[in-house]
Amino acid sequence: MNNKLLGGLFFLCLMLFSCSVKQDVNIASPDSNIQLSFTLDNTGKPHYEVFFKNKKILKKSSLGFDFQDKKSFEDHFEMIKSSKQKFNETWKMPWGEQAEVVNDYNELKLELQEKSALKRKLNIIFKIYNDGVGFRYEFPKQDNLKEVLITEENTEFNLTEDYKTFWTPGDWDIYEHLYSTTKLSEIDAKSYIPKTNLAQSYISENSVNTPVTMVGEDGVHVSFHEAALVDYAGMTLKVDTLNLGLKSSLVGSKNTVYKVKKTLPFHTPWRTIQITDNAPDLIASNLIVNLNEPNKLGDVSWFTPMKYTGVWWEMHLGKSSWDYGMEMEDGVWKDTGKAHGKHGATTENVKQFIDFSSKNNIGGVLVEGWNTGWERWIGFEEREGVFDFLTPYPDYNLDEITAYAKEKGVQIIMHHETSAATATYEKQQDAAYALMQKHGMHAVKSGYVGKILPKGEYHHGQYMVNQYNNAAIKAAKYQVAVNAHEPIKATGLRRTYPNIISREGLRGQEFNAWSQDGGNPPEHLSIVAFTRMLAGPIDFTPGIFNIKFDQYKKDNQVNTTLAHQLALYVVIYSPVQMAADLVEHYEANPAPFQFIKDVGVDWEKTDVLNGEVGDFVTIARKERNTGNWFLGAITDENSRTININFDFLDTDTNYEAILYKDGENAHWNTNPLDLKIEKIEITNQSKLTLKLAEGGGLAISIIKK
Ligand code: NOJ
Ligand code: CA
């Protein structure tokens, strides 16, 4: 062998050697549109980049962790192994926006190890879908790392352009902020001063909460969020306005230096990046649910998706109250006979809701203010021991009501306002859910208003993530489904625990009743549909007919037309959908109420027909079992004309369509009740051009003939 050949062989070996420990790897989505490249740079620091249709969406973004008492996971890594696999399955939603979900991705697993003596290990798993990227860290079992106290996760998402961004501040305690629309470089969460009355709020830095959605000059849409948030802190995204970067910033606690405590082995939630080239595809994306584990509860048919009415809006309007008016006498809270007489949850009042629901194809009645504790709640720091989830007020007969509801074919939805006093709720959970089971109640609305007790914890930190998840897991044992208000964000856990049915986690309808900043502006839900709704079902409580409610609150109103309120039953997805207004307001308006009576709540299929973030959206959904379709369109403060092609309907089928449209002169402020109802016949060949008023909407029921 001559020297030249030897040299060549040596070079080839070197090449092969460096190949076997290759420090950069690429992977693409099944349709090849999304590409991700992972690199360890020459300091052994992990980075990734993301491309969509060959355009760089995320530039070099690094990955790592800081620990309280250990050296950070930052650099000096080498790649021990990388492996790829394909995955494709179709799974069924027990209830949902669609019956079947395709879960199709390519996976890349990177096994990293520190070069230093401790040889600590960290794995990173990327899943590349046609609609985006999910990745998470795995801390595998290892000899030199048993437990970690994470002070920060350092996951970067460095954007390549100054996107138009739809964001809410990175509040550690509440998601009930209005959305701001600014350039990424102009986000200023710290100067965002909520003008409205929030029960709790903590904005620590210039960060945003997720989902945060961005629209690029060339129409690329990107939304950041997380999936499968379990035993970990919620992630906000800190904004670097100069470099157009986002970086994970976990929600902490005043009680510990660390933000997350974990024993190995464990993995983090998925960090998600949804990428599409139009707005409707963001809503159609199933990335978040797909990244969650399959159903662990099995058959949950004891929960049925339903519309519901309830003792609720009347209290937000001030017509009635949650509390009964008990008084303290001789150190005991009791009915001293001086009750103010405004209590809403009386046996008599609830029976009226049951009768109304029963007559109108509405499955449930929510009863807030049924249990003792409300007198002692508001304004009190010491909230532990106040609420009692077993004891009804003297004028509410739980046995009588549940028997009456059963007779009328209606379910009572339980209410547990925990007042964020977690120890009190935890202690009573078993008994409270067992009481529900005894009375055949299968859904609870829970609430976490106010600062968390124990003091120092925040709604979105690891402690509370566990509170919310554990409550839902425990509730499932009693066949109880949960709709939490003041919740932790939705991260697709409904796939794993399908008793997690809905939640608030946004500025809901209630703000229109009492907020001091004019309520939710007409554009609100045209933003929500492309941001908060990507996370999961929303208990927004639509259907306010008495838009101005001057009789109750002169300075407040709903800032949409009546047609817009109807459209929300289709646009905003939830398996529990409230008909939120007072019974008398529905009884006075039977014609538009017919839509609420008819509209479905559980869907075979969803088609997002058009939309632009913050401007408008049209969604059509096919009802399970009946095959009927319902369509909803909403617009922001601008009037616009939309074209609807009904080619999504079944072929060879005739339908009767009832259109609930904004009237000629409709306007969210000057003429919100102007509504025109029209019946026409349509097929899948039909096309319609329709005008939405300022703050307006359109609802159509499309019933098979
Ligand atoms: C806030 C919830 O969002 C609202 O729906 C509920 O009525 C009150 N808390 C009282 O629990
Ligand atoms: Ca709320």
Q: Check pLDDT > 50 for residue 8.
A: no
Considering only 17-21, 163-167, 365-369, 445-449, which range has the smallest mean pLDDT?
17-21
User: Distance from the CA of 137 to the center of ligand 2, in angstroms?
Assistant: 33
Q: Which of 309, 368, 374, 502 to mutate to test the pocket of ligand 1 (most atoms within 8 A of CB)?
A: 368
Residue 272: pLDDT band with limits 50, 70, 90: very high
User: Distance from the CA of 112 to the center of ligand 1, in angstroms?
Assistant: 47
- Location of each CATH 3.20.20.70 domain in the chain: 295-505
Question: Could you tell me if the CB of 624 is within 6 A of ligand 1?
Answer: no
Q: Count the alpha carbons within 13 Å of 402 in the hemisphere toward its beta carbon.
A: 14
Q: Check pLDDT > 90 for residue 14.
A: no
Q: In angstroms, rounded to a whole number, what is the distance separating the alpha carbons of residues 623 and 313? A: 28
Which residue has a Cα nearest atom 2 of ligand 1? 485
Cα–Cα distances in Å, from 502 out to 235, 295, 494, 645?
20, 16, 9, 31
Percent of the chain surpassing pLDDT 70: 96
| Angle, helix 590-598 to helix 562-571, in steps of 10 degrees | 0
Q: Check pLDDT > 80 for residue 2.
A: no
Residue 472: pLDDT band with limits 50, 70, 90: very high
Give one DSSP letter per residue of 400-414, joined into a string. Answer: HHHHHHHHTT-EEEE
Provide mean pLDDT across the span 173-191: 95
- Minimum-distance ligand 1 atom for the alpha carbon of 316: 7
Spell out the CATH class of 295-505: alpha beta
Q: Which helix (H) or strand (E) holds 278?
A: none
Write the pLDDT tens digit of every residue in 40-55. Answer: 999 999 999 999 999 9
* CA neighbor of 405 nearest in space, from 377, 455, 442, 371: 442
Residue 17: pLDDT band with limits 50, 70, 90: very low
Edge-first strand listing for the sheet containing 65-67: 65-67, 147-153, 260-263
Helices (H), 211-343: 279-284, 287-290, 313-316
Which residues on adjacent β-strands are paired with residue 85? Answer: 107
**Contacts of 442 by beta carbon, 8 Å cutoff, 6+ apart:** 302, 303, 304, 411, 436, 479, 480, 481
Which residue has a Cα nearest atom 6 of ligand 1? 447
Q: Check pLDDT > 80 for residue 6.
A: no
User: Which ligand neighbours the alpha carbon of 368 most closely?
Assistant: 1
Q: In angstroms, rounded to a whole number, what is the distance separating the alpha carbons of residues 426 and 433? A: 11
Q: In angstroms, rounded to a whole number, what is the distance separating the alpha carbons of residues 590 and 585? A: 9
Tell me, what's the pLDDT at 193? 67
Which residue has a Cα nearest atom 3 of ligand 1? 485
User: Distance from the CA of 150 to the center of ligand 1, in angstroms?
Assistant: 33
Question: Tokens 């305690």 correspond to what residue?
Answer: 173
- Minimum-distance ligand 1 atom for the alpha carbon of 322: 10
- Location of each CATH 2.70.98.10 domain in the chain: 11-290
- Minimum-distance ligand 1 atom for the alpha carbon of 415: 11
Edge-first strand listing for the sheet containing 655-662: 603-612, 616-623, 629-635, 697-704, 655-662, 675-682
Question: Could you tell me if the CB of 503 is within 6 A of ligand 1?
Answer: no
Q: Which of 417, 444, 574 to mutate to test the pocket of ligand 1 (most atoms within 8 A of CB)?
A: 417
Residue 381: pLDDT band with limits 50, 70, 90: confident
Residue 602: pLDDT band with limits 50, 70, 90: very high
Question: Could you tell me if the CB of 449 is within 6 A of ligand 1?
Answer: yes
**Contacts of 552 by beta carbon, 8 Å cutoff, 6+ apart:** 317, 318, 319
State the amino acid at position 513 in one-letter form.
Answer: A
User: Distance from the CA of 485 to the center of ligand 2, in angstroms?
Assistant: 6
User: Distance from the CA of 677 to the center of ligand 2, in angstroms?
Assistant: 33
User: Which ligand neighbours the alpha carbon of 323 most closely?
Assistant: 1
Cα–Cα distances in Å, from 191 out to 56, 186, 205, 240, 521?
31, 11, 10, 15, 20
Tell me, what's the pLDDT at 379? 64
Q: Are 546 and 511 in contact (CB under 8 A)?
A: no
Question: Could you tell me if the CB of 485 is within 6 A of ligand 1?
Answer: yes
- Minimum-distance ligand 1 atom for the alpha carbon of 417: 11
- Minimum-distance ligand 1 atom for the alpha carbon of 485: 3
User: Which ligand neighbours the alpha carbon of 196 most closely?
Assistant: 2
Cα–Cα distances in Å, from 258 out to 68, 152, 251?
6, 8, 10
Tell me, what's the pLDDT at 192? 72
Residue 377: pLDDT band with limits 50, 70, 90: confident
Tell me, what's the pLDDT at 427? 98
Q: Check pLDDT > 70 for residue 19.
A: no
Question: Could you tell me if the CB of 368 is within 6 A of ligand 1?
Answer: yes
Give one DSSP letter per residue of 284-312, joined into a string. Answer: H--HHHHTSPPPSS---TTS--EEEEEES
User: Which ligand neighbours the alpha carbon of 445 most closely?
Assistant: 1
Q: Which helix (H) or strand (E) holds 45?
A: none
The average confidence (pLDDT) of the chain is 95
Tell me, what's the pLDDT at 197? 76
User: Distance from the CA of 290 to the center of ligand 1, in angstroms?
Assistant: 30
User: Which ligand neighbours the alpha carbon of 541 most closely?
Assistant: 1
State the amino acid at position 269 in one-letter form.
Answer: P
Check: pTM over 0.85? Answer yes or no: yes
* CA neighbor of 207 nearest in space, from 502, 451, 38, 460: 460
Q: Check pLDDT > 50 for residue 450.
A: yes
User: Distance from the CA of 447 to the center of ligand 1, in angstroms?
Assistant: 6
Spell out the CATH class of 11-290: mainly beta
Write the pLDDT tens digit of every residue in 534-566. Answer: 999 999 999 999 999 999 999 999 999 999 999
Q: In angstroms, rounded to a whole number, what is the distance separating the alpha carbons of residues 490 and 531? A: 12
**Contacts of 681 by beta carbon, 8 Å cutoff, 6+ apart:** 654, 655, 656, 657, 705
Give one DSSP letter per residue of 457-509, joined into a string. Answer: --TTSHHHHHHHHHHHHHHHHTT-EEEESS-PPP-STTTT-TTEEEE--S--T
Tell me, what's the pLDDT at 380? 66
Q: Check pLDDT > 60 for residue 589.
A: yes
Provide mean pLDDT across the span 638-664: 98
The count of other CB atoms within 10 Å of the CB of residue 41 is: 14
User: Distance from the CA of 484 to the center of ligand 2, in angstroms?
Assistant: 9
Q: Which of 485, 540, 578 to mutate to test the pocket of ligand 1 (most atoms within 8 A of CB)?
A: 485
Tell me, what's the pLDDT at 633? 99
SS3 562: helix
| Exposure letters 518-532 (e unless 16+ CB within 10 A, then b) | ebbbbbbbbbbbbbb
Q: In angstroms, rounded to a whole number, what is the distance separating the alpha carbons of residues 601 and 539? A: 12
* CA neighbor of 210 nearest in space, from 535, 527, 523: 535
Question: Could you tell me if the CB of 314 is within 6 A of ligand 1?
Answer: no
- Minimum-distance ligand 1 atom for the alpha carbon of 312: 7
* CA neighbor of 143 nearest in space, from 173, 171, 170, 113: 113
Cα–Cα distances in Å, from 330 out to 333, 336, 337?
8, 11, 15
Q: Are 617 and 688 in contact (CB under 8 A)?
A: no
Question: Could you tell me if the CB of 539 is within 6 A of ligand 1?
Answer: no
Q: Check pLDDT > 90 for residue 318.
A: yes
Tell me, what's the pLDDT at 382? 80
Q: Which helix (H) or strand (E) holds 525?
A: helix 524-528
Q: Check pLDDT > 50 for residue 15.
A: no
Tell me, what's the pLDDT at 309? 99
Residue 23: pLDDT band with limits 50, 70, 90: confident
Q: Are 693 and 639 in contact (CB under 8 A)?
A: yes
The residues that are catalytic are: 510
Question: Could you tell me if the CB of 447 is within 6 A of ligand 1?
Answer: yes
Distance from chain centroid for Cα 1: 68
- Minimum-distance ligand 1 atom for the alpha carbon of 199: 1
User: Distance from the CA of 418 to the center of ligand 1, in angstroms?
Assistant: 10
Q: Check pLDDT > 70 for residue 9.
A: no
At 51, phi and psi to the nearest 5?
Answer: -120, 145
Question: Could you tell me if the CB of 199 is within 6 A of ligand 1?
Answer: no
Structure token pair of residue 659: 């259109």
Tell me, what's the pLDDT at 289? 98
Write the pLDDT tens digit of every residue in 406-427. Answer: 999 999 999 999 999 999 999 9
User: Distance from the CA of 667 to the center of ligand 1, in angstroms?
Assistant: 29
- Minimum-distance ligand 1 atom for the alpha carbon of 504: 3
User: Which ligand neighbours the alpha carbon of 369 most closely?
Assistant: 1
Question: Quick one: DSSP state of residue 363?
Answer: -
Tell me, what's the pLDDT at 195? 60
Q: Are 501 and 481 in contact (CB under 8 A)?
A: yes
Which residue has a Cα nearest atom 8 of ligand 1? 447
